[in-house]
């Protein structure tokens, strides 16, 4: 309409837009102006589109670190538009793979802002990582969730494992570890669950490591944790150790990925930082600046898990 054209004309005069054949594009001066202006009026803007804009500014600064966790495996991508988001697993008939910064840029161009790699490589019969995902019920204060994370870290540390810690980007946290190549212990029998018989494989074993860790944490923090994923309303006051993601085609948010709901970054943390950590520290700009100073802080050194494995096998048959 006339008023819109009038506004566009004013922006062209100011050098913030350029017009070609009735179409408009932002100029470099316009980009600089918007990058300053959105910080002043952010709450008045379309929040979903602002997340996409910020993702486009953020990812080029941390891309190498995130790609380490996306290569050689399928990756799901959350795409975000006004008031709606969806998880895309395939492009046509093929599962998505992300191999380079250009691949990430292509997804950003179509509003793909949240990258969720599978926990195993294509065709692999085992997870690459042990991931313990702490999902806090809505009645659990964040301080209590942090206590659970610290307790789980202590359990694994007792077996010579120093897991990496990261914020989920929402209300939870995760700890990750990577083991040196190993076989299934011959005495391993999957923990019997109410859901019925389970296959004896690496995915079941890693899921049982999660359950074992929860059982040890529950000794020091009784009635605060659970591994029961069913009936979400029954665990509003508990922290879930979510073993359900450890399965073929199970996926998990990549370190340094943006959470599509909050716009916050799933950032690495040192254990000593956890107690004082505030969610706003995971703002994309702050994380990018931290990365530029410190580099990739989410390093997984393969460790010997043999002592932990023995304890898990013994626990499974109790």
pTM of the model: 0.94
Rounded Cα gap, residues 163 and 152, in angstroms: 10
Structure tokens, 128: 């690459």
Structure tokens, 122: 């294509």
Round the average pLDDT of the chain to a whole number and report it: 96
Is the pLDDT at 162 greater than 90? The verdict is: yes
What's the confidence (pLDDT) of residue 196? Answer: 78
CATH of 130-316, one of 3.30.70.260, 3.40.50.300, 3.30.70.3300, 3.40.605.10: 3.30.70.3300
Write down the domain spans for the chain: 1-44, 130-316
Arithmetic mean of pLDDT, 124-130 = 98
Encode pLDDT of 88-124 as tens digits. 999 999 999 999 999 999 999 999 999 999 999 999 9
3-state secondary structure of 96: coil
What's the confidence (pLDDT) of residue 44? Answer: 95
Best CA proximity match to 104, nearest among 51, 49, 59: 59
Instruction: For residue 270, give every residue at least 6 positions away whose Cβ sits within 8 Å of its Cβ, in sequence order, or none.
Output: 165, 297
Structure tokens, 111: 């509003």
Query: CA geometry: angle at 6 spanning 5 and 12, to 5°?
Result: 85
Is the pLDDT at 199 greater than 80? The verdict is: yes
């Amino acid at each position: 309409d006339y008023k819109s054209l009038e506004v566009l004309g004013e922006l062209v005069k100011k050098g913030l837009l350029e017009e070609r054949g009735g179409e408009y594009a932002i100029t470099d001066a316009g980009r600089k102006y918007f990058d300053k202006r959105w910080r002043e009026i952010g709450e008045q803007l379309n929040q979903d589109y602002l997340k996409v804009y910020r993702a486009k500014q953020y990812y080029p600064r941390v891309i190498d670190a995130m790609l380490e966790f996306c290569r050689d495996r399928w990756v799901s991508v959350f795409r975000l538009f006004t008031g709606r988001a969806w998880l895309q697993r395939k492009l046509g008939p093929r599962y998505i793979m992300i191999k380079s910064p250009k691949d990430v840029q292509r997804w950003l161009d179509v509003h793909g802002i949240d990258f969720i790699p599978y926990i195993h490589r294509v065709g692999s019969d085992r997870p690459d990582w042990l991931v313990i995902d702490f999902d806090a019920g809505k009645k659990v204060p964040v301080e209590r969730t942090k206590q659970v994370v610290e307790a789980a870290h202590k359990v694994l540390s007792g077996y010579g494992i120093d897991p990496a810690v990261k914020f989920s980007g929402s209300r939870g946290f995760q700890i990750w570890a990577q083991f040196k190549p190993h076989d299934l212990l011959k005495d391993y029998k999957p923990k019997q669950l109410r859901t019925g018989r389970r296959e004896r494989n690496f995915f079941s074993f890693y899921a049982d490591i999660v359950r074992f860790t929860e059982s040890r944490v529950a000794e020091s923090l009784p009635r605060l944790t659970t591994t029961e994923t069913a009936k979400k309303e029954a665990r509003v006051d508990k922290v879930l150790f979510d073993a359900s993601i450890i399965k073929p085609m199970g996926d998990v948010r990549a370190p340094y990925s943006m959470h599509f709901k909050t716009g916050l970054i799933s950032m690495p943390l040192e254990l000593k930082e956890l107690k004082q950590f505030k969610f706003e520290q995971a703002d994309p700009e702050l994380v990018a600046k931290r990365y530029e100073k410190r580099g990739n802080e989410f390093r997984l050194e393969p460790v010997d898990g043999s002592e932990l494995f023995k304890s898990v096998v013994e626990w499974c048959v109790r």
